[in-house]
Amino acid sequence: MMEIYQIRTFVTVAEHGNLTKAALLLHVTQPAVSGHLKALESALNLKLFERSSTGVQLTMAGQALLPKAQAILAASSEFRNRARDLQGKLTGKARVGTILDPPFIRLGQFMSSILDRYPWMEIELEHGISVSVLEQVAGGGLDAAFFLGQLNLPHVQAIALTDLAYRVVAPPAWKNKIANADWAEIAALQWIRPPHMSAHVQMMTEMFSHQKLEPFKVAKADQEQTIKTLVTAGVGLGLMREDLAFAAQSAGEVCVWSKARPTSTLSFIHLREREGDPVVAALRDVVRTIWLDNSTSYGVEWA
């Protein structure tokens, strides 16, 4: 098997034609130089030099291999230089869970900042809902994630980004039905039921518990687009983020009940034990910068 030091010895001897001078340049003894060449010739099963009283000369085989050997040394040097450049730079893979629509969580800014600050770090995005990304962060399947709702797991750390307002939306054909409806009448209507532990169910539970009511539920959904589709189709009432709700109402796709405005918190989460992890720290740093720089219009409060 060839070694890089053998190739370096071969090139040095070939370029200077003298074992003694090569030994001085390589900071080894002359017998060591001879041993390197002998081992290389044995590994290649080729004679590389013709020896004489005045020095050494390359054989035809040695002449043919010299450019390749020089290229190997150049590549090795470039490899070492690149490694030195990377010292102190963050590398590795980060798995990040996303929710909601990408523009709203500023995903484009997040990715651009990561690539700009940490060009050697690979980001793998996995889109889902808050319930699923929380489970994966808690179980170690994701390094970090955006999350909507109240967090009750002590081993998961949350950085609050902003509070989001929601609205109760109904099918457009129900406009007159809900216009003057009270809480009891709203609770008696068909509702799109959010999954257990989701931000939507937290908001619904809080809303109706204050009224000591239980809403009638007919379908299960947590994705904003799915809720909008079901509401527009006349399935029932649902909760929709305020900006989306009023946009959909302007488009004639839903109508908004004006007597409720529940809120939930958008956070960035990771395992508490990984707070000092360089990858997690980098993700936290980027998220903080993006949201802190734009906190005025979103009412961000940092934990």
pLDDT digits (tens, 9 = 90+) for 40-85: 999 999 999 998 877 899 999 999 999 999 999 989 878 876 766 6
Place of tokens 């319930």: 131
HSE-CB of 53 using CA atoms within 13 angstroms: 0
- Residue 69 to residue 73: CA distance in whole angstroms: 6
Query: How far is it, in rounded angstroms, from Cα 89 to Cα 278?
Result: 10
| 3 state SS of 302 | coil
Residue ranges and CATH numbers for the domains of the chain are: 4-86 (1.10.10.10), 92-162+265-293 (3.40.190.10), 163-263 (3.40.190.10)
Q: Who has greater pLDDT, 94 or 300?
A: 94
- Average pLDDT over the chain, rounded to an integer: 87
Question: DSSP secondary structure string, 138-164?
Answer: HHTS-SEEEEES----TTEEEEEEEEE
DSSP E strands in 47-105: the ranges are 49-52, 55-58, 92-98
Give percent of the chain above pLDDT 90.
57
| pLDDT per position as a tens digit, 83-119 | 666 556 677 789 999 998 899 999 999 999 998 888 8
